[in-house]
Amino acid sequence: DVKVTQSSRYLVKRTGEKVFLECVQDMDHENMFWYRQDPGLGLRLIYFSYDVKMKEKGDIPEGYSVSREKKERFSLILESASTNQTSMYLCASTTGVETQYFGPGTRLLVL
Amino acid sequence: ILNVEQSPQSLHVQEGDSTNFTCSFPSSNFYALHWYRWETAKSPEALFVMTLNGDEKKKGRISATLNTKEGYSYLYIKGSQPEDSATYLCAFLRGTALIFGKGTTLSVSS
């Protein structure tokens, strides 16, 4: 079974803190994605990566950066967390353009 | 930004009812349309990946059709059960990334 894990299920941070969300997949997938999910807005793409050290902006990259140093790991970084980044963050991976496999999500609260 | 629209936003049915939802997407530059089911406290899980106009896919009581020329897909659930309660997401493939609709939330009462 494909497994996508995320470092935390719940996280509480303060405004201005630097926040790291980590995602690891065990299926040697080339492509990895970070989404956020907000009520009434659905899943929105923040960033994705199609190879090690490669990244592409999604639809809402502002306030975020990413890192992909190893194929299996894709990190989302909030350089200076703000309250409007309180959300559910989901990581996904896939090979090519096939089915995406999602992690369990991280619910982040920024106070 | 491409728009992927889903309707209805939410739906409440009785056990045994059959139901269907709609996903509308841009009909130009079509590559694939995905359907996912997202149950509360779980990860979204893939139902179907559809690529050809006229495609029909089936998994148990759930089936989906695709019309790429007019830009819509239908998801059907026959004989809904309480365990079908979830949010159903469709997503349009843009390059390597998926653009998701806001989902249809189905609630099935026993």
DSSP collapsed to 3 states, chain B: CCCCEEECCEEEEECCCCEEEEEECCCCCCCCEEEEEECCCCCCEEEEEECCCCCEEEECCEEEEEECCCCEEEEEECCCCHHHCEEEEEEEEECCEEEECCCEEEEEEC
User: How close is the nearest chain A Cα to the Cα of B51, in Å?
Assistant: 10
The rounded percent of chain A whose pLDDT value lies above 70 is: 98
Q: If you average pLDDT over every residue of chain B, what do you get? A: 93
Q: What is the pLDDT of residue A88?
A: 96
Give mean pLDDT, residues B34-49: 94
Q: What is the pLDDT of residue B41?
A: 87
Give mean pLDDT, residues B57-67: 96
Q: What is the pLDDT of residue A73?
A: 97
Q: Check CB contact under 8 Å for B44 and A98.
A: no
CB contacts, 8 Å: A45 with chain B: 97-99
Q: Tell me how far apart the alpha carbons of residues B56 and A11 are, in angstroms, rounded to a whole number.
A: 41
Closest CA to B65 of B85, B90, B83: B90
Q: Is the pLDDT of residue B73 over 80?
A: yes
B57 and A CB contact within 8 Å = no
B47 and A CB contact within 8 Å = no
Instruction: Tell me the pairing of strands A73-78 and A64-70.
Output: antiparallel
Residue reference for tokens 């894990």: A5
* Least confident interval from A100-109, B10-19, B21-30: B21-30
> Long-range contacts for B58-61 (Cβ within 8 Å, ≥24 apart)?
none
pLDDT digits 0-9 by tens, A27-63:
999 999 999 999 888 899 999 999 999 999 999 999 9
Instruction: Check: CB of residue B75 under 8 Å from CB of residue B88.
Output: yes
Give mean pLDDT, residues B95-103: 90
Backbone φ/ψ region at A53: left (φ over 0), alpha (ψ -120 to 50), beta: left
Give mean pLDDT, residues B59-76: 96
Closest CA to B24 of B102, B107, B109, B105: B102
Residue B36 structure tokens: 């996912």
Q: Is the pLDDT of residue A103 over 80?
A: yes
Q: Check CB contact under 8 Å for B45 and A103.
A: no
Q: What is the pLDDT of residue A33?
A: 96
The rounded Cα B86 to chain-centroid distance in angstroms is 11
Q: Check CB contact under 8 Å for B43 and A4.
A: yes
DSSP A41: T
Q: If you average pLDDT over every residue of chain A, what do you get? A: 94
Residue type, A57: K
Q: What is the pLDDT of residue A2?
A: 67
Q: What is the pLDDT of residue A98?
A: 81
A45 and B CB contact within 8 Å = yes
User: How close is the nearest chain B Cα to the Cα of A23, in Å?
Assistant: 14
Give mean pLDDT, residues A70-79: 96
Instruction: Check: CB of residue B85 under 8 Å from CB of residue B97.
Output: no
Closest CA to A37 of A105, A93, A103, A110: A105
Q: What is the pLDDT of residue B1?
A: 54
